[in-house]
A = this chain, B = another copy of it.
Amino acid sequence: MNATLFVCTTCRAGQPVVDGQPVAGARLYTALLESPRPPGLTIAPVECLSACSNGCVVALSAPACWSYVYGRLSQDDANDILAGAAAYAATSDGLVPWRERPLIFRKQSLARLPPQER
């Protein structure tokens, strides 16, 4: 399945912006790009996922699948995010069994959305 991991690259995660330094969302995006990418997964930067009070934020979506949004993340979570994204990309409907989700996905869900009508 072709899944997309959207990463909010403008998220400050409540931290002050320092001139010349990437914000927390950009650091998370870089960390994700620097890790091995699971098969079938595209990583896409997005400017604002409108979950600013719960940043950093990522979202997973794929055609005909449930979408998920996760928050309160940082660059230190990159490997767990990719493990969760790999499990998601391996499903046909986006529904990963609860115990197979990384802890951050179990505890830090902001929302999920049903599959879109075709």
Query: Which residues of A line the B interface, CB within 8 A?
Result: 2, 4, 6, 44, 46, 48-51, 57, 59, 61-63, 67-69, 71, 109-114, 116-118
Contacts and interface: CB of A to CB of B under 8 A. Distances in A.
A69 B114 contact: no
A67 B2 CA distance: 19
Contacts of A49: 111-113
Contact of A63 (B111, B113, B116): B116
A114 B4 CA distance: 10
A113 B59 contact: yes
Contacts of A50: 68, 109-112
A61 B6 contact: no
A110 B109 CA distance: 11
